[in-house]
Amino acid sequence: MKILVLLPRVPYPLEKGDKLRAYNHIKYLAKNNEIILCALNDTEVHSDAIINLQPFCKSIHIFNISKSSIAINLMRAFFKGIPFQTGYFYNKKAQKEIDRIIATEKPDHIFCQLVRVAEYMKDKSIPKTIDYQDVFSKGIGRRMDNAPFYSKPIFRSEYKRLLKYEHDVFEIFDNKTIISIPDRDLIPHPEKEKIHIVINGVDTDFFKPIDRDKDYEIVFIGNMAYPPNVNAAEYLATKVLPLVRKSKPQARLLLAGATPDKRVLALQSDSVTVTGWMDDIRDGYARAKIFIAPMQIGTGLQNKLLEAMAMKIPSITSQLANNALSAKDGKEILVGNTPEDYAALIIKLLDNPKFAKDIAEAGYKFVLDNYNWESATAVLEEVMKSNTVTP
């Protein structure tokens, strides 16, 4: 197939979950198909982006959207009643270029990642697939519950717009995919069972056990500007770590990941280290005895858990995050609900090296057996093949 892939971001570097998913879909789809990549961009393109994407793409088209056009399109989104994040990524000049590329290339299938780019393809008659990936409406709803009173009206408006848009997008696209069954069940459409599950994977050739000294007891890794990660970092540093340090006074927490929000930077202390961007994120994982992702808000599958488990690091998470992961609590992963739960689990792992090793080994096997990018993308390819242009 000749597949036109439309993304809201250039899928490199791989510091965000949507970029990681898109990059690997492109990489493995390229083995049997011709890829035309179209990506929107609202920042400076990484100097290594093109060279890392070229091996998988027949052509790469990047559409820069300016801050001024974003402001105008957010206003248009307000009056049109579409989600603000969809309006943010929509640009009329980009639409014209994408239309021209479609007319020239005549793709057999169009693949769109996230509802953020659905507006570009809503009138196209070519067979098309949308990857919801996550349920944005639910994620915004959870953030709304924890938002300051003055921002609740904005979150409430976006929540209602996303509910309607996620429903309407279902009707526009021939095929729909999503990351997990729990996420699929949250899509606001009566026929959501028709959405195909395309899980994430982990590169186990890259993320593998590393033997090195442990400088920290606990590590949390992620894009530190992403609100659910900011929330989790604050929760760890202010609610969990103080409880751990009552019995383990020397316990230290590492918060590693790109673009730390000012709220994350403010957590820096003698017991908390904030690294910012790391050239090799594996070093962040390997420096700690335990990985913890106490996610309180957000949706989707946490790639950080897959990576930590693939590196044989005993991992702790919330029920919210494990709903998508589906690892066995107490065997392959540990699940907490309160600060007291998390602190007790951390202390148990620190006090029982054999137990920690058993959790790490079982988690490692779980990831190897269940999360593979090549097999996951093969499912996506079959979904697209079921509805494509006949030569």
pLDDT tens across 327-351, in order? 999 999 999 999 999 999 999 999 9
CATH domain 2-201+373-385 topology:
Rossmann fold (3.40.50)
Residue 178, strand partner residues: 133, 197
pTM, full prediction = 0.89
Percent of the chain whose predicted confidence (pLDDT) is above 90: 93
Q: Which pLDDT belongs to residue 297?
A: 87
**Cβ-contact 127, 109 below 8 angstroms:** yes
Using alpha carbons, list the distances in angstroms from residue 144 to 17, 25, 63, 149, 216. 22, 31, 31, 9, 33
Higher pLDDT, 388 or 14: 14
pLDDT in tens, 134-177: 999 999 998 898 889 999 999 999 999 999 999 999 999 999 99
In the chain, residues under CATH classification 3.40.50.2000 are 2-201+373-385, 216-370
Whether CATH 3.40.50.300 fits 216-370? no
**Cβ-contact 258, 280 below 8 angstroms:** no
